[in-house]
Structure 1
Amino acid sequence: MEWKVETLNEVVDAEIAALPKDMQARFLRIAGMIESAGLEGMGHPHVKPLEGKLWEMRLMGRDGIARALYVTVTGRRVVVVRVFVKKTQKTPRQEIELALARAKEILK
C-alpha cells in the first residue's frame, strides 16, 4: 500500500496557495517524495518530528522558510493540518497549538 498526502480542508489548501511559488513547488516535491518513497525513507532535512504525533515538512525558498505541519493517519495517510511562513528560528507555540487542535478532528 502506498502513502497518500492530503490536506485537512479548504483552509489548509488556502494556506498552501498563499505561499510563494517556490515554496509551493517545494511542498509538492516533498509530498511527491513521500508518496513515491514512503515516510520511512524520509528524514532530515525534509521532515522532522515536532511534538507527539505532529511532524513538520521543512520548506525553504528564496523568500524565507515555511512549515507544513502534519499527522499520519491509519491507512498510510499523511494529513497536512497547518501551513505557514516562519518568521523566527523556533516554531511558534501558537502554530503548534493550532495544528494540534485541527489534528484532533482526524485523530479521534
Structure 2
Amino acid sequence: MNWRIIYFSERVRSDVLALPPGIRADYLRLAELMEEHGADLRMPHSKAMGSGLFELRPKGPEGIGRVFYCTQVGQMIVVLHSFVKKTQRTPNNELDIATRRLKEVKNAK
C-alpha cells in the first residue's frame, strides 16, 4: 500500500506550492518518494525532530526549504508547515508553528 500525503489546511498546501520553483520541484520529488516508499527518507532528505515531528529538507537554486510533517495510522503523512530557511538554525517561531499543529493532529485522533 502506498502512503498518502495530506495537508494540515488549505493554507499549508498553498504555502508549500508557493515555495520558490527550484525548492518546490525538489519538494515534489521528495514527496513522490515518500508516497512510494514511506515517510522515513532519512538524512540528507529528512530529519526526525522529536516527538513524532519530521522535517523534509528540499533544496533549490533559491536556497533551502523546510517542510514539517508527521505520520498517522493508515500510512498517511500530514504536512504541517513550510518555510524557506534564511539562517543556519531553524527559527524557533517556525518550529513552534509545526509543534502546535502536530499537537492538534495528535489530539484529533
Regarding TM over 0.5, the answer is: yes
| Structure 2: segments with no counterpart, 5+ residues | none
Q: State whether structure 2 residue 43 is matched by structure 1 residue 44.
A: yes
Whether the 8 Å contact between 2:69 and 2:80 is mirrored in structure 1 is yes
Whole-angstrom distance in 2 between the partners of 1:21 and 1:8: 22
Q: Which residue of the partner structure matches residue 11 of structure 1?
A: 11
Deviations 1:52-92 (A, max 9, x none): 21100001110110100011111111101000001111111
3-state SS of paired residue (1:69): strand
Deviation of the 1:105 alpha carbon: 2.1
Matches within 5 A, 1:80-99: 80-99=79-98
* Letter aligned with residue 7 of structure 1: Y
Question: How many aligned residue pairs are there?
Answer: 107
Whether the 8 Å contact between 2:7 and 2:78 is mirrored in structure 1 is yes
The 1:63/1:54 distance shift into structure 2, 3 A limit, reads: same
Give the fraction of aligned pairs with identical amino acids, expressed as a percent: 38
Whole-angstrom distance in 1 between the partners of 2:87 and 2:52: 22
Whether the 8 Å contact between 2:65 and 2:83 is mirrored in structure 1 is yes
Deviations 1:12-69 (A, max 9, x none): 01211321111111111101001112234x2111110113211000011101101000
Q: Which residue of the partner structure matches residue 67 of structure 2?
A: 68
Whole-angstrom distance in 1 between the partners of 2:22 and 2:56: 15
Whole-angstrom distance in 1 between the partners of 2:14 and 2:34: 21
Whole-angstrom distance in 2 between the partners of 1:22 and 1:107: 32
Q: Which residue of the partner structure matches residue 56 of structure 1?
A: 55
Whole-angstrom distance in 1 between the partners of 2:3 and 2:95: 24
* Letter aligned with residue 57 of structure 2: R
Q: Which residue of the partner structure matches residue 77 of structure 1?
A: 76
Give the aligned CA root-mean-square deviation in angstroms: 1.2
| Structure 1: segments with no counterpart, 5+ residues | none
Deviation of the 1:2 alpha carbon: 2.0
